Amino acid sequence: MVIRKGKKEDMPAALELIKELAVFENEPDAVVVTVDELERDGFGPNPLFKTFVAEKDNEIIGMALFYYRYSTWKGKTIHLEDLIVKEAHRGTGAGSALYKEVIKFGKQEGVRRVEWAVLNWNQHAIDFYERSGATVFQDWLTVQMDEEGITKFTLNL
């Protein structure tokens, strides 16, 4: 298995991983992003994200997608949006290798924090993160406004 930076040509496989993650998270119909959007947004003139992929026998079996954020308390940080490994390859060390690569990248970039979200029912992942030294906060709630909410909100401005 090889861990490497993702390339534009990897985005069709990346989208398949994203769809597999959506199924795992019980949201099989939630993915609306396209390969074209991933290629444009990750590899255009102003890339919005970076990726590492896990590749085995010329097949992409996992991916970590992350991007920079800015904390008013900490400065430059990284947000790990998704860490995905194909179901058939879970338990092979691919997820751990991708995780290590993102944390190592953050260290090299001088970020003061790497952060991500984990579903409260994904105890296997929670245990892994805590064993690695990460803190899983119980007092912060994730807040989102979806596209429909944005539209409704802006209509009332």
* One-letter identity of residue 92: T
Is 129 a catalytic site residue? yes
Q: Identify the active-site residue in 68, 70, 99, 129.
A: 129
The DSSP-derived string for 81-120 is EEEEE-GGGTTSSHHHHHHHHHHHHHHHHT-S-EE----T
Listed in sequence order, the DSSP H helices in 110-156 are 123-131, 147-155
Cβ–Cβ < 8 Å for 27, 44: no
CA dihedral 52, 58, 62, 67 (to 10 degrees): 20
Instruction: Provide the residue type at 107 as one letter.
Output: K
Q: Are strands 50-56 and 114-115 parallel, antiparallel or unpaired?
A: unpaired
Active site residues: 129
